[in-house]
Amino acid sequence: MSTIAKEIEVELQTTPNLSAKELKAKYQHMHQVQLYESKMRRAKTIALQRKDGDHTKQYTHLRSYIDELLKANPGSTIKLNVEPCANPNLKTWKFRRIYVCYAALVKGFKLLGRELLGLDGCFMKGKYPGQILTAVGTDGNNCLYPVAFAIAEAECTDSWKWFLDLLGDDLDLPHHANFTFISDRQKGLIQSVESVFPRPEHRFFCRHIHENLRQTWMGDLYKGLFYRAALATSVPYFNMAMEEIKKTNLDMFLWLSEIPAARWSRSHFSGRAKSDMLLNNLCESFNRQLVGARDKPIITCLEYIREYMTMRIVNVKKMQATARAH
């Protein structure tokens, strides 16, 4: 088994998404032997453990990893949240959450001057379940600008409140800050934002509202009516669009009326954020970059995200240097 694992580890270095069935076909073709797929599946598990690390053991090295990160990134914020084990006789602590916000990214975000952050979460797919919570802003080119992230036990009111409290401290946001957040109304997020920042502008992703809407009212007609109201740039145009919806389908009009217009229509945005963004492209783009990290052990996952953020900064600086040269 270890011999097979050692050989397929090389394959997984270049193509990590190969399935056990594909690895079995490659191995059989190379060595002219017959293998059960279950055996190849076990060999793949061993090979991935060698390549990415052990899911359980990495939690024991997490504090040392955080110390090294803080030495290499002075001024950054990394918070580890643990809880006692279920067995009171054990003296060990169980991992609950970790929050990471690099000083360089916070400094850059404050210089951008756009008080807008997209909040989103995605599932961990590894041995231990959890959620990656993210806060993503926009740069001067309207491209994504990751600010902070956390790995938490679940996407709930308590975890979001903990995340937003720490994020507010890093961004120097007072309790009464007039900041703008945009999200897809995840479980517990609305209550958390209102609890931490009672006076923010909290927008909802229009795509998420439309996904809920089309479960009852399908078709391009209703989609066009909805986005006409969402994209309206003044209150009179918004009222005209809503009146058209009312004439077409009264139930749809009543359903939309229950969602405050300030949450989803440009006509009611305050303008403080200097952005009329309606969609969750920023968060979805960032989450797409994290696909390769979501099934990894905790430290490997954190390193994957750190390397992506670092490479993004380097690439942006290269583009800036090229633009100045021309």
Which stretch of 160-164, 241-245, 272-276 has the lowest confidence by average pLDDT?
272-276
| Confidence at residue 45, expressed as pLDDT on a 0 to 100 scale | 64
Q: Could you tell me the CA-to-CA distances from 235 to 73, 175, 242, 269, 272 in Å, in that order?
A: 47, 30, 10, 10, 17
Average confidence (pLDDT) over 63-74: 93
Average confidence (pLDDT) over 282-295: 84
Phi-psi region of 66 (alpha: psi -120 to 50; beta: other; left: phi over 0): alpha
| Confidence at residue 9, expressed as pLDDT on a 0 to 100 scale | 60
| Confidence at residue 57, expressed as pLDDT on a 0 to 100 scale | 86
Q: Is the pLDDT of residue 186 over 80?
A: no
- Which position has the higher pLDDT, 314 or 15? 314
Mean pLDDT of the chain: 84
Task: Give the three-class secondary structure for 131.
Answer: strand
Sole residue written with tokens 């937003």: 164
| Confidence at residue 154, expressed as pLDDT on a 0 to 100 scale | 86
Average confidence (pLDDT) over 33-46: 65
| Confidence at residue 85, expressed as pLDDT on a 0 to 100 scale | 76
Residue 175's pLDDT band (cuts 50, 70, 90): confident
Q: Decide if 34 contacts 24 (C-beta within 8 A).
A: no
* Bridge partners of residue 150, in order along the sequence: 99, 133
Phi-psi region of 8 (alpha: psi -120 to 50; beta: other; left: phi over 0): alpha
Q: Is the pLDDT of residue 1 over 60?
A: no
Q: Rg of the Cα trace of the chain? A: 24
> Distance (Å, rounded) from C-alpha 223 to C-alpha 204?
16
| Confidence at residue 247, expressed as pLDDT on a 0 to 100 scale | 94
Strands (DSSP E) along 174-297, which ranges?
180-183, 201-204
Which stretch of 35-44, 49-58, 186-195, 243-252 has the lowest confidence by average pLDDT?
35-44
pLDDT digits (tens, 9 = 90+) for 213-242: 999 999 899 999 999 999 999 999 999 999
Sole residue written with tokens 């210089």: 111
> Distance (Å, rounded) from C-alpha 11 to C-alpha 43?
12
Average confidence (pLDDT) over 286-298: 86
| Confidence at residue 17, expressed as pLDDT on a 0 to 100 scale | 66
The CA-based angle 135-136-139, given to 5 degrees, is 150
Residue 302's pLDDT band (cuts 50, 70, 90): very high
| Confidence at residue 249, expressed as pLDDT on a 0 to 100 scale | 93
Average confidence (pLDDT) over 196-202: 85
Q: Is the pLDDT of residue 208 over 80?
A: yes
Q: Is the pLDDT of residue 76 over 60?
A: yes
> Distance (Å, rounded) from C-alpha 293 to C-alpha 313?
19
- The single-letter code of the amino acid at 205 is F
Six-digit token pair at 236?
């009179």
Q: Decide if 261 contacts 234 (C-beta within 8 A).
A: no
Average confidence (pLDDT) over 22-32: 65
Q: Decide if 159 contacts 131 (C-beta within 8 A).
A: yes
Percent of the chain with pLDDT over 70: 83
Q: Is the pLDDT of residue 254 over 70?
A: yes
Six-digit token pair at 266?
């440009």
Selection from 215, 173, 216 nearest residue 196 by Cα = 173
Q: Global pTM?
A: 0.82
Q: Is the pLDDT of residue 13 over 80?
A: no
Which stretch of 146-155, 215-224, 313-322 has the lowest confidence by average pLDDT?
313-322
Residue 38 backbone phi and psi in degrees, to 5: -65, -35
